[in-house]
Chains A and B, each alone.
Chain A
Amino acid sequence: MRNETDSRFFAAPRVLPARAPARPRLDPRHLPFMVTLGLFGVMFGAGSIAFDGFFSLQVFLNLFIDNAFLLISAVGMTFVIISGGIDLSVGSVTALTTMVLAHLVENRGWSPALVIPLVLLMGATIGLIHGVVIQYFSLQPFIVTLAGMFLARGLCYLISVDSIAISHPFFTDVSAIRYPLPFETSVSVNVVMALGVLLGAVYLAHFTRLGRTLYAIGGSEQSALLMGLPVARTKIFVYTFSGFCSALAGIAFTFYMLSGYGLHAQGMEMDAIAAVVVGGTLLTGGAGHVLGTLVGVLIYGTIQTLIMFEGSLSSWWTKIVIGLLLLVFCLLQKVLARAPARQGSTRAARQDSAQPHPVSSPIERTAQAGG
């Protein structure tokens, strides 16, 4: 037994230099992120060559302006997915936020200064409830957030089945603000908001104790528990944060669309999940980078921009291309997860033990581990 383990430990350094000579050590788990970054470069480059006017700073910035709300909710989703869970409610919580904002501001005449903190609190509370139910009843995150998704959409329609246009001066003013940048370009308030969330999330995930706990839970919840990490607290925080992000995305969406509607952000949860996965975060949890999500969202935006520039292609191609990209990245992650196993590194051993059998989803596994 012991000899076997030892040979496994020593096999890696003997084999690795031969395979990857003079290359800086690259964690195979960071490879998806590199691939994503490369893919974004290739796609944007291809667009620049194919279309006049594509290669400009403003087109690049528009990726941020048009997808700020997606970025905000995808950041929240990244945390959830790193922890090994999933949140299907983000799209409907975003829609609910636009609805509550529009209703309270337009129909009730409340002040935005009061309504905005209120909706943020509402989003966080919905997330908190998800987290508490998932943690304390050890239910599968996917079924709990599914219920949350139904609930939030339903509440939208309870407020109104029609779209509520927003004409409050605060919202029209804020949505008109453009922060000027060099070369006669500009960005909107949403972009500043989204980048703020992103930076905060990067700090939280990669430079704090909470972030390390998060990765530990995603890697193996049981191990995290045995290590004495605050698993329950962190998991609940993750869903609360995702709910908060969804609400913030809803505010950004309101600035973008200037209306509240129950059909807003339909299917955004899938876009967010796709962005996170394409960004290189493992859906099994435990690996990934928040910045990857940014690149994932940018790729999503680039696909849309390419289709728009092409002109003859219809919007549904976005869905098909995103689906294909999802497929490619999932297969890539599968291959990468297997490759180190042949080299016999300890990391691979951990990866294998994290996947007890092929047909078990991470969500279900988490549910079992938590039980």
Chain B
Amino acid sequence: MSAATKSPGASRASESLRALIRGRLFWPLITLALLLSFNLAFNAHFFSVTVRDGHLYGSLIDILNRAAPLMIVAMGLTLVIATHGIDISVGAVVAISGAVAATLIGGQLSPGGGAPEAAGHPMPLVILAALGVAMALGMWNGALISFFGMQPIIATLILLVAGRGVAQLITGGQIITIYHTPYFFIGNGFLAGLPFSLFIVSAVLLFLLVLTRRTALGLFIEAVGLNPVAARFAGVRARAITFWAYAFCGLCAGIAGLIISSNVKSADGNNAGLLFELDAILAVVLGGTSLNGGRFTLVGSVLGALIIQTLTTTIYSVGVPPEVTLVVKAAVVFLVSILQSDRVRDRITSMGKLGEAL
């Protein structure tokens, strides 16, 4: 209404802005806001952030910190889903990355109690090794999919099945406890009052945003997702882009594995990152990226991850048994995917047109 009274240029700008918000980030933001305000209704101190020992503490910080691994994996997965693919092996890669790091860093409990500084291998090397392995696994997925033409869900299914076995092989089937104190900084440390993991998330997000929005790479990825054949004819190296999307997704899962293993101070080949792939897919879908490939939104996926974590925290804080989380997640997936379906979209737009006509 107000747009119509403005100059045509401004109205077009505001309309395109509105379309952008409506299409992508509007619903995730609303969902998150609703969840947060629901929390506020239950807990008046929900938004309060206190400073203790120079660190910020509070429910919001806690949610951000806990959502960090999911946010990173969701970002990696967003690129993969944008190329019309899927990676269901991220949970297994998380487990392998944690297992590699925990096995290499070693460290032993000193008899006098407390954790010694000594590590089995220097920490930068350990981190590089874990990330390298994770990225190599991503490349393996990427190679199967882009060069052998295997369907993404099957190629990554192979790693999903075998990956946990590999993780258990690395840890010898045991839960490996990490005693090397500096390693804990990745998942538990604070920098400038904020959890260190948030800086990792920001770094990944910034890197990806610059890469996909300041260069043509984002456009290429969307082109590949919409129609790889057309993209190839248009001169886009579709195979290479698909390959690197999976490689990067593996790398992201590796980073998440480091954060998780550092946070819980151990690596469990069997249970680390269990069902993580599902949460990550849910985060991407909640964020507004269509599973059919094409347009994607990294910020949306980050919001999606935050929504999932907020939902989990809400369920805990309200006092509902935590077992309900899965049921609620299921309901959310059903609802979101039905709302995303063409049938419902068509009906809504036709209703909108009807409203305009009246």
Contacts and interface: CB of A to CB of B under 8 A. Distances in A.
Contact of B154 (A138, A153, A283, A367): A283
Interface in A138-197: 138-140, 142-144, 146-151, 153-155, 157-158, 161
Given A137-B344, A143-B291, A161-B323, A334 B162 contact: no
B153 A334 contact: no
B162 A363 contact: no
Contacts of A139: 337-338, 341
Nearest to B228: A357
B173 A330 contact: no
Contacts of A144: 334, 337
B90 interface: no
B242 A330 contact: no
B343 A136 contact: yes
Given A133-B334, A316-B168, A359 B344 contact: no
A51 interface: no
Contacts of A16: none
| Centre residue among A133, A319, A326 by max chain B CB count within 10 A | A319
Size class of the A contact interface (CB-based, 8 Å): 35 or more
A360 interface: yes
B106 interface: no
A249 interface: no
Q: Most A CB atoms within 10 A — which of B148, B162, B163, B166?
A: B162
Given A138-B341, A146-B333, A359 B157 contact: no
A299 interface: no
Interface stretch (B51-59, B80-88, B115-123): B80-88
Given A314-B173, A316-B169, A359-B242, A273 B338 contact: no
Nearest to B292: A364
Interface string A348-363: 0000000111111111
Contacts of A363: 153
Chain A contact residues, majority secondary structure = helix
B152 interface: yes
B155 A320 contact: no
Interface string B316-343: 0000010111111111011001100111
Nearest to A324: B162
Interface in B128-178: 144-146, 148-155, 157-166, 168-169, 173
Given A140-B291, A154-B325, A334 B165 contact: no
Given A139-B338, A330-B150, A358-B146, A364 B165 contact: no
A133 B228 CA distance: 29
A334 B148 contact: yes
A204 to B, nearest CB: 25
A361 B152 contact: yes
B258 interface: no
Contacts of B160: 270
A284 interface: yes
A153 B163 CA distance: 22
Contacts of B291: 140, 143, 364
Interface string B81-122: 001111000000000000000000000000000000000000
23 contacts: A133-B338, A150-B278, A150-B326, A151-B331, A154-B329, A157-B321, A274-B157, A283-B154, A316-B166, A316-B169, A319-B161, A322-B161, A323-B158, A323-B165, A326-B157, A331-B150, A358-B145, A358-B146, A358-B150, A359-B151, A360-B84, A360-B151, A361-B86
Interface of A: 86, 133, 136-140, 142-144, 146-151, 153-155, 157-158, 161, 270, 273-274, 277, 283-284, 314-320, 322-324, 326-327, 330-331, 334, 355-364, 367-368, 371
Given A151-B330, A283-B154, A334-B149, 8 more contacts: A136-B343, A143-B281, A147-B330, A147-B331, A316-B164, A319-B165, A320-B165, A357-B227
